[in-house]
Structure 1
Amino acid sequence: MNIRVGFGYDVHVFAPERELWLGGIKIEHSVGLLGHSDADVLIHALCDALLGAANLRDIGFHFPDTSGDFKNIDSKILLRRTMSLIREKGYEFVNADCTVCAEEPKLNPHIPTMQSCLSEVMTVDIDTISIKATTSEKVGFVGRKEGIAAYATVLIYKR
């Protein structure tokens, strides 16, 4: 069996008058994340991991921030398209392990809803999506509450 691993990383800074979208769900917070799309840092890291595992370059290649087509787009659409791209290339998803780094808001209460949302968008079992939340212990831009970072590792296999 042809098994492939992919790794993704993304970061977005906080911005006033923006909604906070993480893992496909809206989370109430005083600020959102700045980006060309809805700036869902978790979905963006997951897309990069999936694309990398299938050797399909990265999210910016497929969904460039220079294109008006993706202005304010719901990142769930990007994830659905990413899943189509890897499946068109003959791959199937096994699992994802994701970590979101944020001082605030507290994300643990939202993790089950994020898992449910992502599993529906990706048409995979909820048990295959692991999401963890951590802080950076007040170190760096995340620690200074300037933004959020996310990491994702995925496993896919060739059908």
Structure 2
Amino acid sequence: MAKIKVGFGFDVHQLKQQHPFILGGVNLEHTAGAYGHSDADVLLHAICDALLGAANLRDIGFHFSNTDDRWKGISSLILLQHVVALLAEKNWQIGNIDAMVCLEAPKINPHIPAMQANIAKAAGIDIEDISIKATTNEQLGFIGREEGVVAYAVCLIERI
């Protein structure tokens, strides 16, 4: 029987006016964008945390500290590539990723295929193994007021 594990990831970033909004490696047109040390891609950060957690390799902050200038402004697709390499060192490969983004705007549905392609390329897996969904917060809380964006991810990893 093959050894499998699952992981869960979560990330949240504040939205700032006139700031780039990168999600799944795609630059979204919007009046505000996620703010953070790297490119603040909440979707990729949640995916990285899910993968690291499944492999018992701590969390994204442990590997990519927001006090380390090496990661300042970096594309989170590069962080994902590093995470996949860490998994491979421990003889793990990705089975699948299922992610959910919670935000009021912009609508991301038209961008999901591009996000899946970016993630598939960075992670070395098939697009069919990546599910990305979106929902709103029904105008409630900081998400509803468009002050922040949240992403959740689960993954399955398999022993190579």
User: Counterpart of 2:117?
Assistant: 116
Q: After superposition, where does 1:1-159 map in structure 2 within 5 Å?
A: 1-159=2-160
Report how far residue 16 of structure 1 moved: 2.4
The alignment partner of 2:131 has SS state of: strand
Cα distance in 2, alignment partners of residues 117 and 78 from structure 1 = 13
CA RMSD of aligned residues (A): 0.7
Structure 2: give runs of 5+ residues left out of the alignment. none
Return the alpha-carbon distance in structure 2 between the equivalents of residues 72 and 57 of structure 1.
22
Whole-Å separation in 1 of the counterparts to 2:59 and 2:86: 12
Q: Write the letter of the residue equivalent to 2:17.
A: P
TM-score (norm 2): 0.97
Percent identity between matched residues is: 54
Cα deviation code 1:65-117 (max 9, x no counterpart): 01011111111110000000011110011000000001000111111111111
CA distance in 1, matches of 2:50, 2:76: 15
Q: Deviations over 1:17-75 (max 9, x none)?
A: 32100001111111111100000000000000000000000000000001011111111
**Residue identity matched to 1:59:** I
Q: Report the secondary structure of 1:106's partner residue.
A: coil
Runs of 4+ in 1 over 3 A off after TM superposition: none
CA distance in 2, matches of 1:23, 1:81: 16
Give the number of aligned pairs.
159
Shift of 1:151: 0.2
Unaligned runs of 5+ in 1: none
Residue identity matched to 1:39: A
- Distance in 2, Cα, partners of 1:71 & 1:116: 24
**Cα distance between partner residues in 1 of 2:90 and 2:28:** 34
Q: Give the partner amino acid of 2:54.
A: A
